[in-house]
Amino acid sequence: MGEIKKRIISGIFLAPVIASFFYFLSLKWFFVFLSCVAVIAIFELVIMADLRERYLILFLTMISFIPLYQRSLNTYILWLIFSTLIYMVIKFLKGESIRENINRDTIKGIHTLIMCEIFIVLPLFYMYLLKEIGNTFPLIFLCAIWASDTNALFIGKTFGKNPLVPRISPKKTFEGLGGAVSGSMLIMLFTYRITRMTMVEALIIGAIIGVLAQFGDIFESMAKRVCETKDSSSLIPGHGGLLDKFDSFIFTTPFLYHYLSGIKG
Protein backbone atom coordinates (compact mmCIF):
# COMPACT_ATOMS: atom_id res chain seq x y z
CA MET A 1 0.00 0.00 0.00
CA GLY A 2 1.35 3.43 -0.95
CA GLU A 3 2.31 5.96 1.69
CA ILE A 4 -0.44 8.36 0.62
CA LYS A 5 -3.11 5.65 0.97
CA LYS A 6 -1.76 4.68 4.40
CA ARG A 7 -1.79 8.34 5.38
CA ILE A 8 -5.40 8.80 4.30
CA ILE A 9 -6.66 5.62 6.01
CA SER A 10 -4.82 6.43 9.26
CA GLY A 11 -6.17 9.97 9.15
CA ILE A 12 -9.77 8.80 8.65
CA PHE A 13 -9.59 6.61 11.74
CA LEU A 14 -7.45 8.77 14.01
CA ALA A 15 -8.69 12.30 13.25
CA PRO A 16 -12.14 11.85 14.89
CA VAL A 17 -10.56 10.25 17.97
CA ILE A 18 -7.96 12.99 18.46
CA ALA A 19 -10.52 15.72 17.72
CA SER A 20 -12.91 14.29 20.34
CA PHE A 21 -10.10 14.27 22.92
CA PHE A 22 -9.35 17.91 22.19
CA TYR A 23 -12.98 18.96 22.51
CA PHE A 24 -14.66 16.68 25.06
CA LEU A 25 -11.95 16.06 27.67
CA SER A 26 -12.09 18.17 30.81
CA LEU A 27 -9.10 20.37 31.60
CA LYS A 28 -7.65 17.81 34.01
CA TRP A 29 -7.95 14.89 31.59
CA PHE A 30 -6.77 17.02 28.70
CA PHE A 31 -3.62 17.69 30.71
CA VAL A 32 -3.22 13.93 31.28
CA PHE A 33 -3.74 13.27 27.56
CA LEU A 34 -1.12 15.86 26.55
CA SER A 35 1.28 14.42 29.14
CA CYS A 36 0.91 10.98 27.51
CA VAL A 37 1.55 12.52 24.10
CA ALA A 38 4.64 14.23 25.51
CA VAL A 39 5.99 10.94 26.95
CA ILE A 40 5.72 9.21 23.56
CA ALA A 41 7.19 12.17 21.65
CA ILE A 42 10.09 12.49 24.11
CA PHE A 43 10.84 8.79 23.85
CA GLU A 44 10.80 9.05 20.05
CA LEU A 45 13.31 11.90 20.22
CA VAL A 46 15.73 10.15 22.59
CA ILE A 47 15.59 7.00 20.46
CA MET A 48 16.28 9.12 17.38
CA ALA A 49 19.26 10.65 19.18
CA ASP A 50 20.48 7.13 20.06
CA LEU A 51 21.17 7.98 23.71
CA ARG A 52 21.88 5.45 26.45
CA GLU A 53 20.17 7.49 29.19
CA ARG A 54 16.71 7.36 27.58
CA TYR A 55 14.70 6.86 30.75
CA LEU A 56 16.73 9.42 32.68
CA ILE A 57 15.99 12.11 30.09
CA LEU A 58 12.34 11.05 29.98
CA PHE A 59 12.08 11.29 33.78
CA LEU A 60 13.84 14.66 34.05
CA THR A 61 11.72 16.12 31.27
CA MET A 62 8.39 14.96 32.66
CA ILE A 63 9.13 16.58 36.03
CA SER A 64 9.06 19.93 34.21
CA PHE A 65 5.29 19.50 33.86
CA ILE A 66 4.91 20.15 37.60
CA PRO A 67 6.06 23.82 37.66
CA LEU A 68 4.24 24.44 34.39
CA TYR A 69 0.99 23.06 35.80
CA GLN A 70 1.46 25.34 38.82
CA ARG A 71 2.07 28.32 36.47
CA SER A 72 5.53 28.89 37.94
CA LEU A 73 7.68 29.97 35.00
CA ASN A 74 10.61 30.88 37.27
CA THR A 75 10.58 27.37 38.78
CA TYR A 76 10.37 25.88 35.29
CA ILE A 77 13.45 27.83 34.16
CA LEU A 78 15.31 26.80 37.33
CA TRP A 79 14.36 23.18 36.71
CA LEU A 80 15.60 23.46 33.13
CA ILE A 81 19.03 24.41 34.49
CA PHE A 82 18.90 22.00 37.46
CA SER A 83 17.87 19.01 35.32
CA THR A 84 20.91 19.58 33.11
CA LEU A 85 23.15 19.56 36.20
CA ILE A 86 21.47 16.37 37.46
CA TYR A 87 22.14 14.73 34.11
CA MET A 88 25.82 15.71 34.31
CA VAL A 89 26.18 14.51 37.93
CA ILE A 90 24.56 11.14 37.22
CA LYS A 91 26.89 10.55 34.28
CA PHE A 92 29.82 11.43 36.56
CA LEU A 93 28.59 9.06 39.30
CA LYS A 94 28.37 6.26 36.75
CA GLY A 95 32.15 6.24 36.80
CA GLU A 96 33.04 8.54 33.94
CA SER A 97 35.89 10.95 34.44
CA ILE A 98 35.36 14.69 34.09
CA ARG A 99 37.18 14.66 30.75
CA GLU A 100 34.97 11.79 29.50
CA ASN A 101 31.93 13.55 30.89
CA ILE A 102 32.43 16.57 28.63
CA ASN A 103 32.30 14.66 25.37
CA ARG A 104 30.15 14.59 22.29
CA ASP A 105 27.72 12.03 23.75
CA THR A 106 27.09 14.13 26.86
CA ILE A 107 26.64 17.32 24.87
CA LYS A 108 24.15 15.50 22.64
CA GLY A 109 22.33 14.29 25.76
CA ILE A 110 22.11 17.81 27.20
CA HIS A 111 20.98 19.15 23.84
CA THR A 112 18.28 16.47 23.62
CA LEU A 113 17.12 17.15 27.19
CA ILE A 114 16.72 20.87 26.49
CA MET A 115 14.93 20.15 23.21
CA CYS A 116 12.51 17.82 25.00
CA GLU A 117 11.64 20.43 27.61
CA ILE A 118 11.41 23.46 25.33
CA PHE A 119 10.20 22.02 22.02
CA ILE A 120 7.92 19.20 23.21
CA VAL A 121 6.68 19.86 26.74
CA LEU A 122 6.28 23.64 26.45
CA PRO A 123 4.28 23.72 23.15
CA LEU A 124 1.95 20.98 24.39
CA PHE A 125 1.43 22.86 27.63
CA TYR A 126 0.52 25.97 25.64
CA MET A 127 -2.19 23.90 23.97
CA TYR A 128 -3.51 23.14 27.47
CA LEU A 129 -3.52 26.87 28.25
CA LEU A 130 -5.50 27.50 25.06
CA LYS A 131 -8.20 25.15 26.34
CA GLU A 132 -8.37 27.24 29.50
CA ILE A 133 -9.13 30.31 27.38
CA GLY A 134 -11.90 28.55 25.47
CA ASN A 135 -12.95 24.93 25.08
CA THR A 136 -13.21 25.16 21.28
CA PHE A 137 -9.86 26.91 20.69
CA PRO A 138 -7.60 23.81 20.79
CA LEU A 139 -9.85 21.92 18.37
CA ILE A 140 -10.11 24.84 15.92
CA PHE A 141 -6.38 25.45 15.94
CA LEU A 142 -5.70 21.71 15.66
CA CYS A 143 -7.92 21.60 12.55
CA ALA A 144 -6.13 24.66 11.15
CA ILE A 145 -2.75 22.97 11.66
CA TRP A 146 -4.00 19.70 10.14
CA ALA A 147 -5.43 21.56 7.14
CA SER A 148 -2.13 23.40 6.78
CA ASP A 149 -0.07 20.18 6.84
CA THR A 150 -2.43 18.29 4.52
CA ASN A 151 -2.70 21.09 1.98
CA ALA A 152 1.06 21.61 2.05
CA LEU A 153 1.57 17.92 1.26
CA PHE A 154 -0.85 17.71 -1.66
CA ILE A 155 -0.06 21.11 -3.19
CA GLY A 156 3.65 20.46 -2.79
CA LYS A 157 3.45 17.03 -4.43
CA THR A 158 1.22 18.26 -7.26
CA PHE A 159 2.72 21.64 -8.10
CA GLY A 160 5.97 21.86 -6.14
CA LYS A 161 8.94 22.96 -8.24
CA ASN A 162 10.83 25.58 -6.22
CA PRO A 163 12.71 24.16 -3.18
CA LEU A 164 12.15 25.99 0.10
CA VAL A 165 15.04 24.67 2.20
CA PRO A 166 16.79 22.06 0.01
CA ARG A 167 19.66 21.39 2.43
CA ILE A 168 17.34 20.64 5.34
CA SER A 169 14.20 19.22 3.72
CA PRO A 170 14.60 18.68 -0.06
CA LYS A 171 10.91 17.89 -0.62
CA LYS A 172 9.62 21.15 0.84
CA THR A 173 8.72 23.77 -1.75
CA PHE A 174 7.44 27.33 -1.86
CA GLU A 175 4.30 25.94 -3.51
CA GLY A 176 3.82 23.64 -0.52
CA LEU A 177 4.27 26.61 1.82
CA GLY A 178 1.54 28.40 -0.11
CA GLY A 179 -0.67 25.35 0.34
CA ALA A 180 0.07 25.34 4.08
CA VAL A 181 -0.91 28.99 4.43
CA SER A 182 -4.10 28.64 2.36
CA GLY A 183 -5.18 25.52 4.28
CA SER A 184 -4.99 27.13 7.71
CA MET A 185 -6.50 30.38 6.41
CA LEU A 186 -9.51 28.45 5.13
CA ILE A 187 -10.22 26.85 8.53
CA MET A 188 -9.80 30.15 10.35
CA LEU A 189 -12.14 31.83 7.86
CA PHE A 190 -14.85 29.21 8.45
CA THR A 191 -14.57 29.53 12.25
CA TYR A 192 -13.85 33.24 12.74
CA ARG A 193 -17.18 33.87 14.50
CA ILE A 194 -16.49 31.07 17.00
CA THR A 195 -13.04 32.46 17.79
CA ARG A 196 -14.54 35.97 18.12
CA MET A 197 -12.19 37.38 15.49
CA THR A 198 -12.92 39.65 12.59
CA MET A 199 -12.73 38.06 9.14
CA VAL A 200 -9.52 39.90 8.28
CA GLU A 201 -7.99 39.05 11.64
CA ALA A 202 -8.84 35.36 11.19
CA LEU A 203 -7.23 35.30 7.74
CA ILE A 204 -4.05 36.93 9.06
CA ILE A 205 -3.87 34.52 12.02
CA GLY A 206 -4.51 31.62 9.64
CA ALA A 207 -1.61 32.72 7.44
CA ILE A 208 0.70 33.01 10.47
CA ILE A 209 -0.36 29.53 11.65
CA GLY A 210 0.50 28.11 8.23
CA VAL A 211 3.96 29.69 8.20
CA LEU A 212 4.79 28.80 11.83
CA ALA A 213 3.58 25.22 11.35
CA GLN A 214 6.00 24.84 8.45
CA PHE A 215 8.81 26.33 10.56
CA GLY A 216 8.10 23.67 13.19
CA ASP A 217 8.19 20.96 10.54
CA ILE A 218 11.49 22.29 9.18
CA PHE A 219 12.92 22.43 12.71
CA GLU A 220 12.08 18.75 13.22
CA SER A 221 13.54 17.92 9.80
CA MET A 222 16.82 19.45 11.00
CA ALA A 223 16.75 17.18 14.06
CA LYS A 224 16.02 14.12 11.92
CA ARG A 225 18.86 14.92 9.52
CA VAL A 226 21.26 15.18 12.45
CA CYS A 227 20.01 11.78 13.66
CA GLU A 228 20.05 10.40 10.07
CA THR A 229 16.44 9.20 10.13
CA LYS A 230 13.37 9.86 7.96
CA ASP A 231 10.59 9.58 10.55
CA SER A 232 10.66 9.89 14.34
CA SER A 233 9.04 6.42 14.48
CA SER A 234 6.57 4.23 12.58
CA LEU A 235 3.82 4.55 15.20
CA ILE A 236 1.23 5.99 12.79
CA PRO A 237 1.16 4.29 9.35
CA GLY A 238 1.85 6.79 6.59
CA HIS A 239 2.53 9.61 9.06
CA GLY A 240 5.57 8.52 11.06
CA GLY A 241 5.61 9.13 14.80
CA LEU A 242 3.83 11.49 17.17
CA LEU A 243 6.76 13.86 16.91
CA ASP A 244 6.12 14.11 13.18
CA LYS A 245 2.49 15.07 13.81
CA PHE A 246 3.01 17.51 16.67
CA ASP A 247 6.07 19.35 15.35
CA SER A 248 3.69 22.00 14.00
CA PHE A 249 2.88 22.93 17.62
CA ILE A 250 6.44 24.09 18.37
CA PHE A 251 5.87 27.69 17.31
CA THR A 252 2.12 27.89 16.69
CA THR A 253 0.77 27.19 20.19
CA PRO A 254 3.01 29.75 21.99
CA PHE A 255 2.07 32.37 19.40
CA LEU A 256 -1.66 31.62 19.59
CA TYR A 257 -1.75 31.64 23.39
CA HIS A 258 0.14 34.91 23.77
CA TYR A 259 -1.91 36.51 21.01
CA LEU A 260 -5.24 35.51 22.55
CA SER A 261 -4.31 36.16 26.18
CA GLY A 262 -2.06 39.17 25.72
CA ILE A 263 -2.41 41.12 22.52
CA LYS A 264 -6.09 40.38 22.01
CA GLY A 265 -6.79 40.31 25.74
Work out how many domains the chain is built from and give that number: 1
**Whole-prediction pTM value?**
0.86
Phi, psi (deg, nearest 5) at residue 25: -70, 140
Choose among 68, 118, 115, 124: nearest CA to 252. 124
Domain that holds residue 137: 3-263
Other beta carbons less than 10 A from residue 171's beta carbon: 13
pLDDT by position in tens, the chain (length 265)? 455 666 677 767 788 889 899 999 999 999 999 999 999 988 888 888 888 788 899 999 989 888 888 878 788 889 988 998 998 888 777 765 555 545 667 778 888 888 888 888 989 999 999 999 989 999 999 999 989 988 998 898 889 888 888 888 778 899 999 999 999 999 999 999 998 899 999 999 999 999 999 999 888 777 766 665 555 556 565 556 677 778 889 899 999 999 998 765 5
CA distance 66 to 52: 25
**CA 227, 232, 237, 239 torsion-angle sign:** negative
Choose among 191, 190, 177, 184: nearest CA to 206. 184
Phi, psi (deg, nearest 5) at residue 168: -95, -50
